[in-house]
Each structure stands twice: as C-alpha cells, then as structure tokens.
Structure 1
C-alpha cells in the first residue's frame, strides 16, 4: 500500500468509516445545544448532566423526533411568572417542545413586569399533546367564550395541566366535572363554587386524574410538572431534571394520584 492509500485509510478510520468505528453516546433530548453533541465514551453529558446513551446518530435523531412531546402553554395578560416559568424549566429540560399560545399575538405582561410575545394565537396554534393553563388573571381566559371554545375544540390531547387558578379555565370548559382537583390555597372555595361537580382538595401539591393534572399555587407547579415527566418519561428522568434545576424540595409522589392512566 502506497503512502497516499495509507493516508486515506487513516482518515477514514478517524472519521468512523473503518471496521472499528468509534461508538457514539448522546444525552436524552433536553432542548439544549448538547442535544447535537456526540460523545465517544459513556458517562454524563458535560452540559446538562444527563446520563449518556449509546446510539447511532440516526437512532438519536429518530428517538428525539418520536419522543418530542408538544406542550402548549396558554398565557393571559397578567399571568404569574413562576406559575409558568417553573414548569417551563421542567418540560424543556425533559426534552419536551414548549410553545406559547394566547388569545392574540399582542405582547403580554406577566405580573406587569415581564414582556412576553406569544408564538401563536388561538386561531393558528398547532396541535399539542399537553395543554397547560396558569394563574394570574386567569379569570380573563376562563370568562372568554373564544378561549373556552378553542379549548373544547382541541383533539387528541394526552394531558391537561393547570397551575394555581389556571384550574378555573379547565373548569369552565367542563374538564374538571366529576374529578378530584386542587388549586391555589386561597381559591379552594371559589373553585368549588365554580365547579360544583368536582371535589376540590386543599393541602395537596397536585392531584393526578390520569388525563387531567391540577396543582396548587405557584411553586407547586414545579412538583406537578416533575410528576408528569416521571409519568411520561420515568422516575430517573424526573430526578435528573430536578437535580439539574437544583430543586431539592421535590419529593416524588408527594401529591395525590386519584386515577391511574
């Protein structure tokens, strides 16, 4: 073999085209730049600290596309920042695709300080696997016939998720009838009056009815979101997300599971 042939062979081996192509490892999709980084040894991702899994590039891309659940966050003007920001962190680090929907595409003000531009309005929002609602002026959406009509028309939704008084929006659409649910501690009686067909609990972080998950106020949304991640992606994924967020207050199964699904 001449010198040029040896050089070409060495290059091909280095690029992985030889008989002993180097194994590749990827972290689970987490919506971060490390999603596209291939590692050459097992261990943990140096960016997101997720466990690395041995995969070919094709397997990794196929898995990421298949498992990328779409989550629609409906936000209204005056929405509570932590109500949605906490679950947003959880779902994105778990590899879900989150997008923002509102009544229209006008800029929103969360608690009067944070400016948010929705990705979609209710006329053009894509289908979602999970639809989430949040507190902070939630009555604006709950009492808007157009928003409730849009919600009722959504099909093939795997899970409905609410934080704080976002439960009132689900209740107005009839999605809480006959269920055990919860909401912000100061709104327990109000939700019970608004949805008399539901059983509204206090002193619980979240209630899982299988398809519908409601949580208590503000920080409880993080617990509910981690519970949903554990339900859909396994306990280890949820624990890794909590650890990455340094959320050491999470206790698995701290909420109530009213119905398995």
Structure 2
C-alpha cells in the first residue's frame, strides 16, 4: 500500500519535470528565434513566452504572410503600427511597391520595397494604407494587379484612406466599412452601395477589414491577430507595445 501511495505521488511530479526539460525558443517573431533556452520562461529580447522547440514546426506551417503595399506618400503610422503588431504575432511580412525603387513615405522616410508588382509572391493578407492614396487608387496598373491576386488572397486589410484603393478594386461593394474621419463622405460617394461608418475604430466584414485613420490601424491589426490567434495573444501584444487604447468593443464585427 505504501508503494502504491508513493507511486501516485511520484508520477505527477515526474511528469511535470519531464514537461520542463528540453530546449525552448521564441515563437517565430524575428532575430531572437534562433536563441535556445533550457527552461521555460519569457524571451528577454522580445518578451514572448518561450515554447518547446518541437512545437515551433507547427507554428511555422501556420505562419500568416502579409503583403504591405507601399507608395509615395504613405502615412508612416498607418503601416508602422500594424507592422509592429503583426511582427510580434509572428506573421511573415513583406513590402511591395509598384517598382523596387525606394518609396518616400510621408515625405520623410525612404523604404526600399522587398518586391515590385512584377515579382511579388502571393500572400494570405493584402494590406494597404492611407496618405496620398490617390497615387495607388488612381493607378490602373496597381488596381489591376490587386484584382489579379484575388484568388490567392484570403483577407484584405486597409487603414485610413487605404480604403479608397480597395474601393477602386471593387472590394468594398455592398459592405459596411470605415475610413479616415474626414473622408467618410468621400468614400460613400465612391462606393454608393457601401455603408460607410464614422466613430468606429474598425469594421470587420470577415474577408475585408477596414479601419479608421492612422492609429486605428493598430486596433484593426490587434483585432485581426485576435481572430487568427486568439484574444489572449492580441492582449499580450498590446501590453508588450504599451498600447492601452485597444478596446475591442470600439470596433464592429459584421455578422453574416
């Protein structure tokens, strides 16, 4: 009887010890992915919770790819905010310009696109941002390129007046959407069949997410992370970024 009692007490302790041995790494997030730790905890570089190295294989297979289309005059925070969110979520992000020439965003920062519209690989998510949106929205070649990728694009994500680019590609027809607060009426004129809302941080139609202006892109990105990886992950990223403005109730999820 004593031996049985000993076994009953010892087995859970042994199992717990086994779970805590092994090599731990960050989930896919950046340069610190290759650092190996020998006990569970938090990565001192990025703050992400460490996982057993074997489990990262499945995570890598589920890695979401996001195409950030940038053009001259793109608003910096429009794309930099979501970039921060998606990178901490471990998504694979690449930038595309009409050509591979440097893009000057907001007139102050030059970004060299990873690809041009001639050689960009497919992506799960297409993201477009505001600023001098007419540069992209009024370019038939760019609009045609976006349409040509529709069959392989699972989701669309626009920030601020980037919604006008999606509108010209025919992606907002009959949807409930939002955009920069000063452009609500203009977008309504461009897409008469859409319902364009003010005073909402983002609108999720399932395949298409549009956000209000500039900083609202962070909220929309966190919402998309919550959809794909869970609300706990979105809140963890918001805390890591010290972004305390994320309130899911300020967005609208359209029920279909």
Give me the TM-score of the superposition, normalised by structure 2.
0.89
Aligned mates of 2:248, 2:200 — CA distance in 1: 13
1:29 aligns with 2:28: yes
The gaps in structure 1 that reach 5 residues or longer are 1-18
1:94 aligns with 2:89: yes
Aligned mates of 2:247, 2:157 — CA distance in 1: 19
Q: 2:118 aligns with which of 111, 118, 123?
A: 123
Task: After TM superposition, give the deviation of residue 51 of structure 1 in Å.
Answer: 1.8
Corresponding residue for residue 228 of structure 1: 224
Q: 2:193 aligns with which of 197, 204, 219?
A: 197
Task: After TM superposition, give the deviation of residue 22 of structure 1 in Å.
Answer: 4.2
Aligned mates of 2:25, 2:255 — CA distance in 1: 35
Question: Which has the larger displacement, 227-236 or 33-42?
Answer: 33-42
Question: What are the superposed Cα offsets for residues 56-75 of structure 1, whole Å, 9 maximum, x if unpaired?
Answer: 3xx42x22431221110011
Question: What are the superposed Cα offsets for residues 39-84 of structure 1, whole Å, 9 maximum, x if unpaired?
Answer: 222222222222222343xx42x22431221110011101100000
Corresponding residue for residue 70 of structure 1: 65
Cα RMSD of the aligned pairs, angstroms, is 1.8
Corresponding residue for residue 142 of structure 1: 137
Corresponding residue for residue 247 of structure 1: 243
Kept after mapping to 1: 8 A contact 2:74/2:130: yes
Corresponding residue for residue 219 of structure 1: 215
Aligned mates of 1:77, 1:178 — CA distance in 2: 29
Kept after mapping to 2: 8 A contact 1:227/1:253: no
Aligned mates of 2:248, 2:203 — CA distance in 1: 13
The gaps in structure 2 that reach 5 residues or longer are 1-17
Aligned mates of 1:256, 1:119 — CA distance in 2: 33
Aligned mates of 1:168, 1:87 — CA distance in 2: 18
Task: After TM superposition, give the deviation of residue 211 of structure 1 in Å.
Answer: 0.4
Q: The residue matched to 1:259 in structure 2 has which SS? A: coil
Aligned mates of 2:52, 2:60 — CA distance in 1: 17
Corresponding residue for residue 14 of structure 1: none
**Count of residue correspondences:** 238
Task: After TM superposition, give the deviation of residue 23 of structure 1 in Å.
Answer: 1.5
Aligned mates of 1:43, 1:146 — CA distance in 2: 49
Kept after mapping to 2: 8 A contact 1:68/1:97: yes
Question: Which has the larger displacement, 182-191 or 140-149?
Answer: 140-149
Question: Which has the larger displacement, 65-74 or 185-194?
Answer: 65-74
Alignment of 1:15-26 (within 5 A): 22-26=21-25
Kept after mapping to 1: 8 A contact 2:201/2:212: yes
Aligned mates of 2:104, 2:139 — CA distance in 1: 18
Q: The residue matched to 1:106 in structure 2 has which SS? A: coil
